[in-house]
Structure 1
Amino acid sequence: MARVGGRNAAFAWFVGIVSAAIIVTLLVLAIPMFPAASQWLAQIGRTSDGSDGAGAPSPGASSASDAASSPQGCRDLYNDAAWAVLRQTDGAVVTASTDPPVSTAKDVVAALQPAVVLTCRWTSDAGEISTTVATVPTDAGAIAAASLPAKGFTCADDDGRVRCERTDGDLVESIEAGGGRWLSTSQQAWHPSRYAEGVADAVWPAEG
């Protein structure tokens, strides 16, 4: 019986050593996962208290708030009557993009660096129209008012923002800036009634 007990003890020692080796190996393999696990647990904690979940904006969301509140599609820029007039013009096609503003004042546009939210380009048998909505620094209006007259624009204050216009034959341009928003339109040969005023109403909706 003593020899049997000895054999059992030796076997138990062997099993213990193998088990310990397995545990050490598993711990070594698991070490690279500790940072990922910690990050996952932290994310769960942020979501559960609402600081970084659906109930509150993430750190990058606030910087995009102006863009999010601007018109997000070409249809958003026009009331029903204006949209109908544009769409019913012979050969009318509208294309949405984030292309840079179309303007003869290229150096002023480059200096202000508008972050484009939406550009709507209309083509038709009557001509072309390009309208761009963007975000800009809050002092962009003052910079535009100081710079654009040298480019042939006439500028004036318009309901808390700066509005600059230029006409050269069939080309009519307008640039407006205020409250961190930018709106520019280039109308080549095609001049729907109150076009620039209408899109401005969509970008800067009346309060109240």
Structure 2
Amino acid sequence: MARVGGRNAVVAWVIGVGCAAAVGALAVIALPMLPVSVSWLGGAAGAPIASSSVVATDATPRPSGSASAAGAAPPTTCDQLYDEALQADLDVAEGSQLTRSIDAPETTATALVAALQPRVTLTCGWRSDQGTISTTLAVVPTDAGALAASALPHAGFTCTAQGERARCTRTEGDLVETIEAGGGLWLSTSERGWHPSGYAGRTAARVWGH
């Protein structure tokens, strides 16, 4: 059969024109979506990745309603724990001697100490001819005050609310124990034979600011 020259070229040209027209039509149809697509890509490129947007926080409890919240950090040395008058009363006592440490709280409330596991920052131990005083400042969970108020009455303590914290006291003979907790801080004192006036309340004021 004879071959007709130029037929394939004509057919190819017609098909090419048709394809170009189809592509042009698709471009016209898609044109209105172009700004939306660009906007979406830009947003996706600038959007933060969820797993990397987590900001590390300080794990150390920040006391609430404490001296640190009022602008001053809790005491870090024994002299910061006392006002001038109380410091003078302690210093002038016959045979007065101060020992600074980070020893565990001296208290009969051993079950509460085991449960809260206070992280001791300061223990001030006083000894004089009158007796001994041991005061411990520590960091505890923020609900320690509520736990103390719930548990300590069963151990012979009497608890009262001091604003957002709890103060629990126990007296047995010449021993007076005070445990105060709230806002992530613990302050406990054991006075044996030596009871400076208002000692527990005055030291608490230095820790919590009131």
TM, length-normalised to structure 2: 0.67
Paired residue for 1:164? 168
Sort the Cα spacing of 1:202 and 1:152 in 2 relative to 1 into closer, same or farther, 3 A.
Answer: same
Query: What is the aligned residue count?
Result: 148
Paired residue for 2:101? 97
- Cα distance in structure 2, aligned partners of 1:110 and 1:62: 21
Checking the alignment, whether the CA contact within 8 Å between 2:61 and 2:141 is kept in structure 1 is: no
Checking the alignment, whether the CA contact within 8 Å between 2:61 and 2:184 is kept in structure 1 is: no
- Cα distance in structure 2, aligned partners of 1:178 and 1:126: 31
- Structure 2: segments with no counterpart, 5+ residues: 1-55
Paired residue for 1:120? 124
Paired residue for 2:31? none
Sort the Cα spacing of 1:60 and 1:115 in 2 relative to 1 into closer, same or farther, 3 A.
Answer: farther
The reply on whether 1:151 has 2:155 as its aligned counterpart is yes
- Cα distance in structure 2, aligned partners of 1:99 and 1:199: 18
User: Which 4+ runs in 1 deviate beyond 4 A?
Assistant: 59-62, 64-68
CA RMSD of aligned residues (A): 1.8
- Cα distance in structure 1, aligned partners of 2:155 and 2:189: 16
What's the offset of the Cα at 1:81? Answer: 0.7
What's the offset of the Cα at 1:69? Answer: 2.1
What's the offset of the Cα at 1:78? Answer: 0.6
Amino acid of the residue matched to residue 103 of structure 2? Answer: D
Percent of matched pairs sharing the same residue: 53
- Cα distance in structure 2, aligned partners of 1:86 and 1:202: 16
Paired residue for 1:133? 137
Amino acid of the residue matched to residue 184 of structure 1? Answer: S
- Structure 1: segments with no counterpart, 5+ residues: 1-58
Paired residue for 1:200? 204
Of residues 60, 65, 71, the one that matches 1:63 is: 60
- Cα distance in structure 2, aligned partners of 1:64 and 1:163: 20
Which string of whole-angstrom CA distances, capped at 9 and with x for unpartnered residues, describes residues 44-68 of structure 1?
Answer: xxxxxxxxxxxxxxx7866276599
The structure whose residues are more often helix, as a share, is 1
| Helix, strand or coil at the partner of 1:163 | strand
Paired residue for 1:16? none
TM, length-normalised to structure 1: 0.67
Computing the radius of gyration from Cα coordinates, the structure with the larger value is 2
